[in-house]
Amino acid sequence: MPSMRLGLETMIYEKRPFLPLTLAIGHEAKPRCGMWNVMVQQDQATMELEMRAYTIEAHGATVARTHLHDWLILILLAGIVVLLYFIEPFYRYISKDMMTNLKYPLKPNAIPVWSVPIYAVVLPIIVFVIRYCKRKDVHDLHHAILGILYSVVITGVFTEAIKDSVGRPRPNFFWRCFPDGEEAYDGIGNVVCHGDHSIVKEGYKSFPSGHTSCLGFLSLYLSGKIKAFDQAGHAAKLCIVLLPLLAAALVAVSRVDDYWHHWQDVFAGALIGWGPYAYFKAVEQDARAGPPASAADVRADGDGSSDSCLSLVHQQQDHKITME
């Protein structure tokens, strides 16, 4: 089959001309995936025009109904977070000798609890809406909002469950337990707190840090949308991606400076936020690599493009669009 020279990109569609999947090719390429009859050539202007057609008014309700079960599970997870927040934590044994490292001053939060939803949810959603106003892609807006909410509630479930199970005292636990400075211990040497119950209860929730674990989604979103790692040499893109991470680092440091967390708590919170991403990213890379193909397999498959195109089309199944 004669070769063709591509002007911009070769796009793959399934049945509808949307959500193209770009093939990494050189200046010349051979038309592939004839069995699917899905490969077409379009320039960037046409693609942007099609994306602008998918607005909230025209397709918002359809997208929401398609992912109704995702929203229901999200609500369930949010309810679990609230439940875990109000249940009593494990009241760990704390002796007088252990109080030596728990006498840091009880001071207000530099980053209060009420601000967590603002910088972890509201700020990213503002960025998503700005992108939507430019591209008019309701699917990207919907999936981004759903993704940030899932990242927050899932890390919330993990964080609150571990907090309640571990019951590690905060560095300022002494003044929570004994606000007047008068110590009291029972017959086995455990503390007998006479401070406010809610303040004492919060004092047993040091590990891990919830402020740190719910950060990072915005950085990953920006790195994908601005193609920060396209090897084009644009250092400014990397700076944009690093800004949310810098904010996350400053929040983490503030938790230690305020004596609300030990450094191990902050480190564990960061692992909860980034650990799953690192794991699934490694799994994805292993799956893409796959077993090495033998020469016989390549000859049997012609130039090996059929399996490759089949894999690419299967990847599109996660991004199908439901049309009315």
Backbone angles phi, psi at 190, to 5 degrees: -85, 155
Residues facing 11 on adjacent strands: 22, 40
Residues facing 9 on adjacent strands: 42
Count of other CB atoms within 10 angstroms of residue 15: 12
- 234 belongs to the catalytic site: no
Q: Is 94 exposed, middle or buried (0-12, 13-18, 19+ CB in 10 A)?
A: buried
The Cα 5–Cα 323 span in angstroms is 33
Distance from the first to the final alpha carbon of the chain: 38
The answer to whether residues 208 and 156 touch, using CB atoms and an 8 Å cutoff, is no
Catalytic residue among 234, 261, 262, 314: 261
Query: Which SS3 state, helix, strand or coil, does residue 107 take?
Result: coil
Catalytic residue among 194, 211, 234, 319: 211
Q: Is 252 exposed, middle or buried (0-12, 13-18, 19+ CB in 10 A)?
A: buried
- 261 belongs to the catalytic site: yes
Q: Which residues belong to the active site?
A: 211, 261
